[in-house]
Structure 1
Amino acid sequence: MLRTFFVVLVLGGVMFSCVSSSKYEELDKRYRSTDRRLTQLQKTNEYNEQVIADLRQKADLLETLREELGSTKQKLAALEGSHQQLQKSYDNALEEKDKLITTYSEDMAAFSRELAEKEQNLNIQRRTLDSLMRDIELRERKLAQLREESSAQQAQMANLRQTITEALRSFSEADLTVREEEGKIYVTLSQQLLFAKGSNVIDNQGRKALIQLAGALRDQRDININVEGHTDSDGTPFRNWQLSVERATAVVQILTANGLNPERITASGRAFYAPVAPNDTEENKMLNRRTEIILEPNLEILYELFEGKGS
């Protein structure tokens, strides 16, 4: 449009004024120059419009980015807050972990000490148990030996009772009895068989019985013999003590004189303190006036086995 205006203006000038051809040419050059400039300006204007449009687009994009940046900053602030909270929680957890590690280490050390102590005690108990087991085995062997020896002694005592009974068969039960009680053999001789009343001298019939008894016991080397004298309650206690001891001693003298080992014989007086019947009638008093020869196995063998002195 601007260009058309210039064309009309030039034509008008030509028609209504007298100009020279040189001026026309000059004007034509100007026109062309101006036209070129206009074309260039138009292109520049179009370029500028395009640049402006691009700038506006970029401005819109920049605004959008600015808004996104603000939102991102808010999110970043929130994340920083969360991070600080997490960091605080982490630090607390780390501190708690350190405490737990310390406590765990202390507990493990205490547990290790306790375990070592228990292992030591266990080793001691094991050694003690081993020792006890060895003792039990030894005691079981000893017990078996004791049972064997006891059985042998029981058999020996049974045989001995039978031997004594056979040896003294000629004497009446009123004068002489043989019984077995609690592993011992009791040979009870009445006063009528051995002594006159109040005497400590053994008569012939009693001496015969003791000699026969000594013959039955002569080969019994593992038998201990205890001779007990007993009286009734008549008379003084002192006299009864004395008489019971004298009678027991008189019996021992005959037994040892007929081959029995004195080391295995004991004489003792019991006076009237071990009656077999009340001292209220003459019949009962006769029962109490007696001499008892108590035969028992030599328990030293059993003691030696029990104490470990035997095999």
Structure 2
Amino acid sequence: MKKLMLLSVTAMLLLSSCVSKKEFTALEAKQKKTQDLLNTATVKLNSCLSDAAAANARIEAMKEQLADLRASNQGLIESSKDLTVLTTKGAENLEKSLESLKEKDLKISRLQDALTKKDSVTLAIVTSLKKAVGINDPDIEVNVEKGVVFISIADKLLFKSGSYNVTNKAKTVLAKVAKVINDKPDFEAMIEGHTDSRSYKSGVLLDNWDLSVKRSTSIIRVLQELGVNPSQLIAAGRSSYVPLAENDTAENRATNRRTRVVVLPKIDQFYEMIEEEMKNLSAEE
């Protein structure tokens, strides 16, 4: 640029020495115009260079953004693959869980069937007992308690007060009970003695425990004499600890003095019935 200006001045000096003033003025105006064009071109050039630098900067930023987007896209692809694997495993686990639930439901259904069969047998025993006993007496009750059949007999029908010797009247009732037990050889009969809360002691009997058990064994001996298989009989005494009423009146104490004949399937046979159902279930799988 400086060289160009120096040449222009030199030219002007040379021309001024050999041209007229009018020509010199024209040349000077032309030189100024040229200089203006040069200045304008220089400004445009600098602007273009600045725009180019800015464009290059934007290109570099876009390249970095593109690289980040590619990395994010790859991460999403990998995550999608992992999610697909997890979803597949989840579906497999859910299917296994459903199959397990179906198996459990089937087993529960089988057990319920076994219990239903037991309840049906229990109902049949109740009907049989009521028909066999055949006594319309409020002191004799045939019922089901917690899935177990029992005959509850007031002590006044079985024993004299404070005694464990079975009365002759009781033997009539016990003969009918013996018939029912004999008709059910696969069942057991637990003879359960109950007393009131008044303390009792007489001879070899130390307390109500002794009295309740002694009454139970006395009835068992009568049932055995009536032909009941002794292997089906169980002696039990509950003393005064399972009352039906408060021991505050003579009537309530009489209610609590009772003997229960509990008729129940042999527990091993009941479990065999359940095991048989489970075997059937396993054979079907």
- What TM-score does the superposition give when structure 1 sets the normalisation length? 0.62
Task: Name the CA distance, whole Å, in 1 between partners of 2:141 and 2:122.
Answer: 16
Query: Which AA in structure 2 matches 1:151?
Result: T
The CA deviation at 1:244 is: 0.7
CA contact (8 A) 2:142 2:150 kept: yes
Name the stretch that deviates more: 220-229 or 79-88: 220-229
The CA deviation at 1:93 is: 2.9
Task: Name the CA distance, whole Å, in 2 between partners of 1:120 and 1:251.
Answer: 73
Task: Name the CA distance, whole Å, in 2 between partners of 1:121 and 1:256.
Answer: 71
The CA deviation at 1:165 is: 1.0
CA contact (8 A) 1:146 1:305 kept: no
**1:187 match: secondary structure:** strand
Task: Name the CA distance, whole Å, in 2 between partners of 1:138 and 1:223.
Answer: 32
The CA deviation at 1:137 is: 2.0
Task: Name the CA distance, whole Å, in 2 between partners of 1:199 and 1:286.
Answer: 14
1:220 correspondence with 2:184: yes
**Could you say which residue in structure 2 is the equivalent of 1:90?**
59
Task: Name the CA distance, whole Å, in 2 between partners of 1:123 and 1:207.
Answer: 75
In the alignment, structure 2 segments of 5+ residues that lack a partner are: 1-31
1:158 correspondence with 2:123: yes
Task: Name the CA distance, whole Å, in 2 between partners of 1:155 and 1:204.
Answer: 35
**2:125 match: secondary structure:** helix
- What TM-score does the superposition give when structure 2 sets the normalisation length? 0.67
The CA deviation at 1:105 is: 6.7
CA contact (8 A) 1:191 1:291 kept: yes
Query: Which AA in structure 2 matches 1:164?
Result: L
Per-residue displacement from partner, 1:87-139 (whole Å, max 9, x unpaired)?
A: 1222233234445545x278548836xx63x6665555444433332232223
1:281 correspondence with 2:244: no
Matched-pair identity in %: 23
CA contact (8 A) 1:145 1:305 kept: no
Q: Which has the larger radius of gyration?
A: 1
Q: 2:50 aligns with which of 58, 69, 81?
A: 81
Query: Which AA in structure 2 matches 1:137?
Result: K
The CA deviation at 1:83 is: 0.3
**2:197 match: secondary structure:** coil
1:211 correspondence with 2:182: no
What is the number of residues matched between the two proteins?
A: 245
TM-aligned CA distance change 1:121 to 1:216, over 3 Å:
farther
Larger RCO, structure (CA 8 Å, separation 6 or more) = 2
**Could you say which residue in structure 2 is the equivalent of 1:44?**
none
CA contact (8 A) 1:193 1:206 kept: yes
